[in-house]
A and B are shown apart, each in its own frame.
Chain A
Amino acid sequence: MTIDPTKLVFVAPANATAGSDTYGGAPATLSEMTSDVDENEFADVTNEQRISGLIDYRKQYLYNKNTDPWVGIKAWISENTPSKDDEITVCGAGRYSMLNTATSITTIPATHLSNTVIQIPSVVPINAVAPGEHVFDWDNDPSMENHREVVSVATDGSSNTLVTISASFGSATGTEFYLGITPATMFTYAEHASKASGIYFETIEAGGCAGVWKRREVNADSSGYYYNTLKMRWESE
């Protein structure tokens, strides 16, 4: 398997209207993003936002345009912002999650294999959900009271996705249900400042994507900072 890094491109989500409740969703593979260009992902912080403080979010996908899958990948923040007044934290992003709207994988029901392992049939592409996202039982817990963090995502020998969650939903093992995904504002964000602590993706299939959510927090009354940067690295083992 050969992976050409020039065929690993970064793309925006289908709904790229910042601040929209349904911002996010699936990858828009034609909306390529250019690294190291002003306002290529986050908009500039306005003077008013600098004074009041700001929290906002962006979703980004890595799109594998190679003809082979890219396997065993870690994504992490290799250089957080040089400004002392803001910080970006990240978590994984599946293809369904949206900024401020709960959603579900309605293609096919998921199954509890155990208290903390959920199987999503192979008809749903891998990376439908990602570590750090929060999921819930769409059928039996519509208020999302028992939402759980996704700890890891893997595949079994039949290309089904196995999602390990932090604790049980309380549903019986073997039951089927539609898997819900909470709004991105409820996810677990962390700095993931090294490869060792990076977000792990088992596979990005040929023509497939894996994503991250980025949460930017600008302190109120912060100093100005021009050419503020955030560098994320994606690397296979």
Chain B
Amino acid sequence: MVTTDFTSLYDIRKAGSEFVTAYNIRLLETFESVYNVKPTHVEFVSKYSIHLCTEFITRYTHQVAVDFRAVYSILIPKDFVTIYNLMAKKEFETRIDHAGRVYKEFKTRVKSITGVKILFEEI
């Protein structure tokens, strides 16, 4: 028996506030510290919170390309993509922490994340 495979790979790109608001600086910081990774390319829409923009720019402007003009998109390492895809499937639950803040927590444990609680704060 002889076998060969071909895998097609592509993105269904999403720009806009849903992706933006589900993301926040805390998530990125968590991933950075655990995996020692950083986004490779960050762009923002103008309606993005100026405060958060400032945080992103302060943090990344020396490392990655930043473009205020474009529709938001983020090209990121695969760990981030896994998270993003779970978000797209809406497979997370709403939780409230001890300080009363609302978070989104994944129902499914992300295989590559062990010992780290990943939270998505609603902005």
Contact = CB atoms under 8 A, between A and B. Distances in A.
Interface in B45-85: 71, 76, 78, 81, 84-85
Interface stretch (A96-104, A114-122, A217-225): A217-225
B83 to A, nearest CB: 10
Interface stretch (B2-10, B31-39, B112-120): B2-10
Nearest to A42: B10
A237 interface: yes
A202 interface: no
A88 B12 CA distance: 14
Nearest to A223: B88
B13 to A, nearest CB: 5
Nearest to B81: A226
A45 B88 contact: no
A167 interface: no
B69 to A, nearest CB: 15
Given A82-B85, A84-B89, A227 B11 contact: yes
A224 B13 contact: yes
A55 interface: no
Contacts of A233: 3-5
B7 A45 contact: no
Range, interface on chain B: 20 to 34
Majority-rule SS of B interface residues: mixed
A38 interface: yes
B12 A225 contact: yes
A35 B5 CA distance: 8
Given A44-B11, A234-B5, 19 more contacts: A33-B6, A35-B5, A36-B9, A44-B10, A44-B13, A46-B13, A47-B14, A60-B6, A218-B12, A224-B88, A225-B11, A225-B14, A226-B11, A226-B12, A226-B76, A230-B7, A232-B7, A236-B1, A236-B3
25 contacts: A8-B2, A36-B7, A38-B11, A41-B10, A47-B13, A50-B13, A50-B14, A62-B4, A83-B85, A222-B12, A223-B12, A223-B14, A223-B90, A224-B13, A224-B84, A225-B12, A226-B12, A229-B9, A231-B6, A232-B5, A233-B5, A234-B3, A234-B5, A235-B4, A237-B1
